[in-house]
């Protein structure tokens, strides 16, 4: 689920900004937000899909580079 706040609304005292719309994707990998059983050694669905493409090493390098540089 993705929440997007209205950029033109301003928070006022006692009121919080409300999202202007909610986008859901039932097939999203992020739909399993709090499904952490403490075992990080098992491949999650995302890793399995990337490995099937044959581009796992390239994807991992891209993600690590992005984490280091904060730039795509």
Q: For residue 11, what pLDDT is reported?
A: 45
The helix/strand/coil state of 32 is coil
What is the Cα–Cα distance from 32 to 42, expressed in whole angstroms?
A: 15
What is the Cα–Cα distance from 72 to 59, expressed in whole angstroms?
A: 12
Q: What are phi and psi of 21, to 5 degrees?
A: -160, 160
Query: For the chain, what is the mean pLDDT?
Result: 70
Q: Kindly report the pTM of this predicted structure.
A: 0.40
Tell me the per-residue pLDDT of 14-38, one tens digit each, with 9 for 90 and over: 544 554 555 555 554 444 455 555 5
């Amino acid at each position: 689920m993705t929440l997007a706040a209205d950029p033109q609304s301003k928070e006022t005292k006692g009121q919080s900004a409300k999202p202007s719309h909610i986008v859901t994707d039932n097939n999203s990998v992020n739909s399993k937000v709090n499904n952490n059983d403490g075992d990080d050694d098992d491949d999650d669905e995302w890793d399995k899909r990337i490995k099937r493409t044959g581009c796992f090493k390239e994807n991992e390098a891209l993600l690590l580079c992005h984490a280091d540089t904060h730039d795509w």
